[in-house]
Amino acid sequence: MEHQKLDLFELHKEEYRATGEPRLVETGPALYLAIEGRGEPAGELFATRLEALFAVAYGIKMAKKRAGCDYEVAKLEGLWWGSRGPGDFSQDPKDEWNWKLIIRTPDFVSQDDLMTTVSTLLEKGKGHDVKRVTLETIDEGRCAQILHTGSYAEERPAIEKLNHLAQEQGLSFHGFHHEIYLSDFRRVPPERLKTILRMPVC
């Protein structure tokens, strides 16, 4: 009988519950594949780094599947900040935006798995950006989050709701603006995009 694939979003579904109203959520430390860059999200560098991240994510997944540990590649997420560090970056020029694209990964994925997959991809002629992919743990703890439906340029009202919730609870934002992409922005029209917006609070 075929075993069910590990689905990290389902396993940690309480961390990904979100509606159009803001809520507080407790998140635990999680392992991610990550790649950083700077510049507008519509730019060539963003697309190249995104391709490299997914190539590594699926390369590791296929190797683990052959070893008997199959799992779903999780949805793309992103951490965003401006030239002045964490905080509101929306007024900065887009070419000054910093980002870290991340994909949550099972805890049994190791640094050796990453290195082996990168070597294999390079041998197959993949671009050298695959060497920029890292494996790291992110621990945001308590967060405020909300589901935003629509284009990324129209996130401001949802962010204001997060601000209001934090103020009501006597909390303040810290860390990076975190987006969890429930929709594939390469295939879904902007008005139908669904994105969880998350901000760590303390």
- The yes or no reply on domain 8-200 and CATH 3.40.50.300 is no
36, 99 Cβ separation under 8 angstroms: yes
Predicted model pTM: 0.94
Contact 134/35 with Cβ under 8 angstroms?
yes
Residues 101 and 47: beta-carbon distance below 8 Å:
no
Hey, which residues does 81 pair with through a beta bridge? 98
pLDDT in 10s for each residue of the chain, 202 residues: 355 789 999 999 999 999 999 999 999 999 999 999 999 998 999 999 999 999 999 999 999 999 999 999 999 999 999 877 676 777 788 888 999 999 999 999 999 999 999 999 999 999 999 999 999 999 999 999 999 999 999 999 999 999 999 999 999 998 999 999 999 988 999 999 999 999 999 9
What are the beta bridge partners of residue 71? 6
- What are the structural domain ranges in the chain? 8-200
What is the pLDDT, as a whole number, of residue 1? 38
**Element holding 45 (H helix, E strand):** helix 44-66
Residue 29's CB is within 10 A of a number of other CB atoms, namely 10
N residues, the chain: 202
In whole angstroms, what is the distance from residue 87 CA to residue 24 CA? 19
Dmax (CA) of the chain = 54
